[in-house]
Amino acid sequence: MTGATSLTLTGLAISLAVLWANFRPWWKGSREFKQLIPFGQGFLLGAVSTVCTGGILGWLAGCSAGAANSGGERGVQAMTGSASSGALTKGSLGTLSPEGAVIVFLLTVGVIIAWKAAGKAEKKRTTGGAFVGATLCLTAGVASLLNWLPGTLNAVGEQLRTAVEGAGIL
């Protein structure tokens, strides 16, 4: 992800529209929390992708923000005749250690496996969650709410490393 990537007000509008499109069926339905799992796992993957400074996840996070910004600009302009492309205050979740990066890799593999086994509606929810996570975590407010996430990933990675090294496996 490039350092210049930030979310605009119109990009925020698109991200919130996708969030609402995924949340509304749950709210109007039975409100079982297990129905939120596909969106939640996608959101988590999207959020941690903003921490990746390179690689496929970082690139996809940057593409998500760019798509939200350009799509939002067109959509808001077409609906209202007015569009604001001003960037929102940019936030950052932090950085990953090498051990945290391993946990993000394993999380990504888990989400991909779940996505491949999911039905069409769950695949859409997972993709929507990844888009919303990657875009909203670029804002200062959401990034500050989730600033514990990279530290947790790094700590879990450290624990994994310690367990494996302490068991004499490596």
Asked whether the predicted pLDDT for residue 118 surpasses 90, the reply is: yes
**5: confidence class by pLDDT, cuts 50, 70, 90:** confident
Asked whether the predicted pLDDT for residue 131 surpasses 60, the reply is: yes
Asked whether the predicted pLDDT for residue 57 surpasses 80, the reply is: yes
> In angstroms, rounded to a whole number, what is the distance separating the alpha carbons of residues 139 and 13?
13
Q: What are the two backbone dihedrals, phi and then psi, of residue 139, each rounded to the nearest 5 degrees? A: -90, 150
Of the listed ranges 23-37, 84-98, 109-123, 145-159, the one predicted with least confidence: 84-98
pLDDT of residue 170: 56
Quickly count helices (H) and strands (E) in the chain. 7, 0
Asked whether the predicted pLDDT for residue 1 surpasses 50, the reply is: no
**2: confidence class by pLDDT, cuts 50, 70, 90:** very low
Asked whether the predicted pLDDT for residue 106 surpasses 50, the reply is: yes
Asked whether the predicted pLDDT for residue 85 surpasses 80, the reply is: no
Asked whether the predicted pLDDT for residue 81 surpasses 50, the reply is: yes
Mean pLDDT, residues 100-115 taken together: 97
pLDDT of residue 168: 60
The pTM of the full predicted model, rounded to 2 decimals, is 0.92
Mean pLDDT, residues 46-62 taken together: 93
At 3, is the secondary structure helix, strand, or coil? coil
